[in-house]
Structure 1
Amino acid sequence: MSLKPVIYVFIFLIQVAVFSQEEPVKSYTLNQCISLALENNLNLKSTELNANSADVNFKQSKANLLPTLNGNYNIGVNNGRSIDPFTNSYINQELTFSNANLNLDATIFNGFRLLNSVKQDKFNKQASDMEIEEAKQDLILRVTLAYLQVLNSRDVLELSKKRLIATNEQLKRQEDLYNEEVGNPADYADIIGQKSMDETNILTSKSALNNAKLNLVRILNLQDGFTIDTKDLIMGLEGYPYSSEEVYIDALQNLATFKAKDLRIKAAKKGISVAKSQFVPEISVFGQLNTNYSSAAETFTETGSRVVETSDFVVSGGQNLSVFTNQTEFNSQKINYSDQFDNNLNTVIGLSVNVPLFNGFRAKNDVALQKIQLEESLIELERTQQNIKNAIDQVHFDMEAAFLRYQSLLKQVEAYKESFRINEIRFNNGASNFLAYITSKNNLDNSQTNLANAKYEYFLRVIVLEYYRGESFSSI
């Protein structure tokens, strides 16, 4: 018995076992896609890091209100002529020295610069938090639009497949007639050409679906493939109840981008106050605690006295007589390190006033720059308001047009369904030619595709309008 069939069967079973162990493709609902995007999107993470930086700046500005306390310590060896830090006299020897000090500085008044800096950084932090919310809102919108684009492409693909099924059924009928040499042979060739066209449309629809999925994958920052689950997506086609003006009013109240830009304006105003504080004198108090050590420092203990001859003399009886004196003798002893640090302690306390007289117009120019920053913030808010107002008007107009188009296409699809039903019966019974049949079929297929596109065009615009209103659109 040959072993080849057994080997082939064994390899086949291994392949089946391997493929059966592959993980199934995950299916995500819209809410799951939104959660994944909020968790994985890199742009959102970058915005959150910027907000973290603003939070650190805010904490630091509050900490700047506290006094500063710094310590300093050094030790070294000095050779040659120098000043003895213990006696403050000149010496010419090698000595070891050491110094230690503690400095305290506290600002009492500086034109409220520190307080206004705290308020400015607080507004910047709040603006950064709002920008995170803005990024989340924008990301949710992008995910929802991309998700619906996948649904649209999927529905168009399904319609293309249904076209091919209907064409194959007609092809089977025409093939039987062609083989029986009944009817017009050209009808058989035409239906073959129609099949090729339907297959091409399927490939195009698959490509569009794949591109829509890739776009969604990029937004979600996923590595693996997925399918979509529409069980949590409820879409109804009813007239949109809000006017463009009502949507804009809600947008002004609810969109995070407006709140963020308003906070930036408040921060810019505080920035002007911070810059103006440079014109005001700064008052502060300071204190110091100092001590030092020198290896040349000694203590002297009296041990007695003795008579010694001096270099002086007196003349007595014509003779020079030497002068003697009583000299006290001492015993020297080095002062140790810790004793010197204790004995040499001294403190300093004082008040400092720094009056700005001239600083190269730096203060004046800083104020001017902060005013420019305020103007830029005001213009940015006005620009955003105009852009969003124009966008809302355009989207609202397109939404209404898409809704009317959808209503019109509904009637068109119903009419073409009836037309195709009649032409199909007539064609199958030889009462009509292939041209009338295929024209009717294509009209129905195109109208169904246009209806699907119009439906999602309407949904997409409703979602954008709800985004501007600050409403959730996980279900519509």
Structure 2
Amino acid sequence: MKRRVIFGSFFFFLLRITAWAQHFTLQQCIDTALAKNISVKQSSLLAETAEVNLKQARANLLPDLNANVNHGINEGRSIDPFTNAYVNQSVNYANYGINSGVVLFNGMSLQNSVKQTAYAYDASRMEWQQAKDNLTLNVILAYLQVLNNEDLVSSATKQKELSAKQLERLDILDKQGAVAPSQVSDVKGQLMNDELNILNLRNSLQTAKLTLAQLMNVPYSEAMNLERINTEDFLTAYAKSSSEVYETALQQFSLVKAVELRKKSYEYAVKSARGSLYPSLVLGGSVQTNYSSAAQNAGGKISYKDQLSNNVFSGLNLGLRIPVFNSFRAKNNIRLAGIALRNSELVEEGTKLQLQQQIEQAHLNMTNAYERYKTLLEQVSAYTTSFKAAEARFTAGVGTSVDYLIAKNNLDRANINLISTKYDFVLRKKVLDYYQNANAK
């Protein structure tokens, strides 16, 4: 008995955890999607790669430093590395050295490369932000779609309850012979139609939940429960015109910033490529020492330590490399960089043009949705009055079932259209907010 009680308590605890796990606020949905979305993660990796390229470009300005160690054995006739004289014996030798070099000038190619990669890094960050903004918008739209379908199911359920009450009343009257059987069958058919409508709407609701779950990269569950949002707060006319939204988007939209930064990056890529036409000035230096087992003086063989200390020599050099002919490599690299720059200009132009067209379309859709919403409000009010009158007549036995059902269906359709249009209008406003990087989370 005790084990069953413990098991029952544990099972109840699991149910509570599961129920809690399936409850999401809008912010939780957004955060979950951003944390788990693969495309966003890949965009983040591209930004990290661009950051590494920038660090390397900056590091290329620093001097290099290399050390070398060589040990070997010469057999037979060879040159003694200590005396540079010919010897005919086995000689052990060693060389140690450190060398360094720094580019003093190469037509500002390295400096422009740093600027090129810096703009490319900033562009990658903006593209990463754009990926997050896109996902955020899609989650918001999917979230609102779930709420929309929940409201439709709720409205359809109320319609069914009303039909069920009328059928219950008519069944009583039919048993008393007070109504025609056709009226009972008419209302019964309406009840079946309401139930079928609920089934279709519930299917749409689960489809919307599936879409949201997939955006979040979490397992789909019918038990998903979303925190309600008061959409009435958003049912006001949009304050900005399409041109105002576009002007704001040019300043705020991440994708616009990204293409502008990419163009800047390509501008400096051209400058960096042109640097290869100029002479390169390089400063270098080295310190070397060596050892030879054949080395000796009047006192006999010189020790390893003494040789390393006595044989130290250093060098300093300043080199100038003047490009004369390199198989047209420099010229073609400059041309390729120029082509990439012109393409980036076209990408920027096309992105802004497409953005303007999308905003104009979105603003028109929003305006139409708002006008439909206001019209449907009046329609629902008018059909509500008509239905109440038809219901009163039908209940009093002076109206027909046909008149009652027509009035009810008109009101039902108007209510469903009003709910759908209300959410459609809110969705359209969210799209316009998205273009201004002003998503309300």
* Distance in 2 (alpha carbons) for counterparts of 1:433 and 1:20: 54
* Distance in 2 (alpha carbons) for counterparts of 1:13 and 1:174: 51
1:202 aligns with 2:198: yes
**Who is 1:347 aligned against?**
314
1:279 aligns with 2:277: yes
SS in 2 for 1:235: helix
**Who is 1:163 aligned against?**
159
Contact 2:214 2:220 in 1 (8 A): no
> How many angstroms does 1:172 deviate by?
1.5
Contact 1:30 1:233 in 2 (8 A): no
> How many angstroms does 1:12 deviate by?
9.3
* Distance in 2 (alpha carbons) for counterparts of 1:176 and 1:34: 53
Unaligned runs of 5+ in 1: 1-6, 302-332
Contact 2:97 2:286 in 1 (8 A): yes
> How many angstroms does 1:78 deviate by?
3.3
> How many angstroms does 1:30 deviate by?
2.1
> What amino acid is aligned across from residue 11 of structure 2 in structure 1?
V
1:360 aligns with 2:327: yes
73 and 11 in structure 1: CA distance in 2 versus 1, 3 angstrom threshold: same
Contact 2:60 2:110 in 1 (8 A): yes
**Who is 1:316 aligned against?**
none
> What amino acid is aligned across from residue 259 of structure 1 in structure 2?
K
**Who is 2:430 aligned against?**
463
Of the structure 1 ranges 254-263 and 231-240, higher mean CA displacement relative to structure 2 is found in: 231-240
* Distance in 2 (alpha carbons) for counterparts of 1:158 and 1:378: 52
> How many angstroms does 1:197 deviate by?
2.2
**Who is 1:437 aligned against?**
404
> How many angstroms does 1:371 deviate by?
0.8
In the TM superposition, 1:11-90 aligns within 5 A as 14-15=7-8, 18-22=11-15, 23=17, 24-26=19-21, 27-90=23-86
> What amino acid is aligned across from residue 226 of structure 2 in structure 1?
I
* Distance in 1 (alpha carbons) for counterparts of 2:365 and 2:237: 13
> How many angstroms does 1:445 deviate by?
0.9
* Distance in 2 (alpha carbons) for counterparts of 1:292 and 1:201: 94
Of the structure 1 ranges 430-439 and 116-125, higher mean CA displacement relative to structure 2 is found in: 430-439
SS in 2 for 1:350: strand
> How many angstroms does 1:344 deviate by?
1.6
Of the structure 1 ranges 48-57 and 79-88, higher mean CA displacement relative to structure 2 is found in: 79-88
Contact 1:402 1:457 in 2 (8 A): yes
* Distance in 2 (alpha carbons) for counterparts of 1:171 and 1:234: 34
* Distance in 1 (alpha carbons) for counterparts of 2:388 and 2:176: 25
1:95 aligns with 2:103: no
Correspondent of 1:186 among 175, 182, 203? 182
* Distance in 2 (alpha carbons) for counterparts of 1:20 and 1:434: 51
**Who is 1:420 aligned against?**
387
Q: Which protein is richer in strand relative to its size?
A: 1
237 and 120 in structure 1: CA distance in 2 versus 1, 3 angstrom threshold: same
Of the structure 1 ranges 141-150 and 271-280, higher mean CA displacement relative to structure 2 is found in: 141-150
> How many angstroms does 1:195 deviate by?
2.5
* Distance in 1 (alpha carbons) for counterparts of 2:357 and 2:369: 18
Contact 1:29 1:232 in 2 (8 A): no
**Who is 2:207 aligned against?**
211
> How many angstroms does 1:433 deviate by?
2.4
**Who is 2:145 aligned against?**
149
**Who is 1:319 aligned against?**
none
* Distance in 2 (alpha carbons) for counterparts of 1:62 and 1:236: 49
10 and 194 in structure 1: CA distance in 2 versus 1, 3 angstrom threshold: farther
- After superposition, what is the alpha-carbon deviation per residue over 1:77-106, rounded to whole angstroms, capped at 9, x for unaligned? 333443322232333433322111111101
* Distance in 2 (alpha carbons) for counterparts of 1:178 and 1:441: 21
16 and 183 in structure 1: CA distance in 2 versus 1, 3 angstrom threshold: farther
* Distance in 2 (alpha carbons) for counterparts of 1:98 and 1:460: 77
> What amino acid is aligned across from residue 29 of structure 2 in structure 1?
C
140 and 169 in structure 1: CA distance in 2 versus 1, 3 angstrom threshold: same
Contact 2:210 2:220 in 1 (8 A): no
**Who is 2:172 aligned against?**
176
232 and 119 in structure 1: CA distance in 2 versus 1, 3 angstrom threshold: farther
Equivalenced residue count is 436
1:336 aligns with 2:303: yes
Correspondent of 2:265 among 251, 255, 267? 267
* Distance in 2 (alpha carbons) for counterparts of 1:77 and 1:69: 27
Contact 2:71 2:94 in 1 (8 A): yes
- After superposition, what is the alpha-carbon deviation per residue over 1:332-359, rounded to whole angstroms, capped at 9, x for unaligned? x333222221122111111111111111
Contact 2:366 2:425 in 1 (8 A): yes
- After superposition, what is the alpha-carbon deviation per residue over 1:25-71, rounded to whole angstroms, capped at 9, x for unaligned? 34332233333333333322222221111111111111111111100
**Who is 1:239 aligned against?**
237
82 and 196 in structure 1: CA distance in 2 versus 1, 3 angstrom threshold: farther
> What amino acid is aligned across from residue 256 of structure 1 in structure 2?
S
19 and 363 in structure 1: CA distance in 2 versus 1, 3 angstrom threshold: same
Contact 1:250 1:470 in 2 (8 A): no
- After superposition, what is the alpha-carbon deviation per residue over 1:239-287, rounded to whole angstroms, capped at 9, x for unaligned? 2121111111111122122112111111111000000011111011111
* Distance in 2 (alpha carbons) for counterparts of 1:410 and 1:337: 101
SS in 2 for 1:139: helix
Q: Which protein is richer in helix relative to its size?
A: 2
1:126 aligns with 2:138: no
> How many angstroms does 1:13 deviate by?
8.9
> How many angstroms does 1:452 deviate by?
0.6
**Who is 1:258 aligned against?**
256
> How many angstroms does 1:425 deviate by?
2.2
**Who is 1:402 aligned against?**
369
282 and 252 in structure 1: CA distance in 2 versus 1, 3 angstrom threshold: same
> How many angstroms does 1:397 deviate by?
1.0
SS in 2 for 1:442: helix
- After superposition, what is the alpha-carbon deviation per residue over 1:126-155, rounded to whole angstroms, capped at 9, x for unaligned? 222222332232222222111111111111
TM-score after normalising by structure 2: 0.92
Of the structure 1 ranges 229-238 and 23-32, higher mean CA displacement relative to structure 2 is found in: 229-238
Contact 1:97 1:295 in 2 (8 A): yes
Contact 2:102 2:284 in 1 (8 A): yes
Overall identity of the aligned pairs, in %:
39
Correspondent of 1:230 among 225, 228, 231? 228
241 and 190 in structure 1: CA distance in 2 versus 1, 3 angstrom threshold: same
Any runs of at least 4 consecutive aligned residues in structure 1 with deviations exceeding 6 A, and if so which? Answer: 9-13
